[in-house]
Structure 1
Amino acid sequence: MAEPHVTLDPQTLTPVEEKLRGPLEDQLSSALQAATVKIRQRYAGENVEQVTTMLLDQAKAGLHPDIAAGFHPDHEQLRHVAEEIVSRGH
């Protein structure tokens, strides 16, 4: 399973966010990767939608509250990560 990576769309960023884009992408990716590892380790038969929600909640828990509030990853891409967790968990 490839480690998930967050890429921010420069078209949607404010000038300040654009200046911080690299470090912000790294921080978001790191939180999502850590969440993926934790959810994969404690996976107990939940369905894909439940795992998708768990991934987002766990990733946000690993971020500063201000950053977490603005973190809205693409649902389909997050769901793809969840599908891989579910398929490997059976």
Structure 2
Amino acid sequence: MSEPHVSLDQADLGPVPEKLRGPLEEQLSSALRHATEVVSGDYRDESVDEVAARLVEQTRAGLHPDIAEAFQPDLARVRQVAESIVRGR
């Protein structure tokens, strides 16, 4: 499985968040990578949808509450990561 990464759409960002884009993407990516490790290591024959939901939940748990609340992941990409876990990495 390739290492998951979060990219923020520049069109959605204003001037201040744009300055923080790199560090924010890294924080989000790090939380998603950690969530992927946790969910993969604790995989219990769940469906892709269940794994995807766990990935989002675990990712949010690894973020500051304000960031977690605003985090709107690309669900298609989360589903790809979930599919990789279900297929056996």
TM-score, scaled to structure 2: 0.97
Please list every run of at least 4 consecutive aligned residues from structure 1 whose deviation after the TM superposition is greater than 3 angstroms.
Answer: none
Give the count of matched residue pairs: 89
Give the equivalent residue in structure 2 for 1:49.
Answer: 49
- Give 2:26's aligned residue: 26
User: Cα distance, 1:73 vs. partner?
Assistant: 1.0
Query: Which digits, 9 at most, give the CA deviation of each residue in 1:53-82, with x for residues without a partner?
Result: 000000000000000011111111100000
Structure 1 spans left out of the alignment, 5+ residues? none
Distance 2:47 2:17 in 1: 35
Report the TM-score when normalising by structure 1: 0.96
Whole-Å separation in 1 of the counterparts to 2:9 and 2:75? 15
In the TM superposition, what whole-angstrom CA distance separates every residue of 1:24-75 from its partner, at most 9, and x where no partner exists? 0000000000000000000010000000000000000000000001111111
Q: For 1:33 and 1:41, locate their aligned partners in 2 and report how far apart those are by CA, in whole Å.
A: 12
Cα RMSD over matched residues?
0.9
Q: Distance in 1 between matches of 2:13 and 2:70?
A: 11
Structure 2: gaps spanning 5 or more residues: none
Structure-2 residue corresponding to 1:69: 69
Identity of matched residues, %: 55
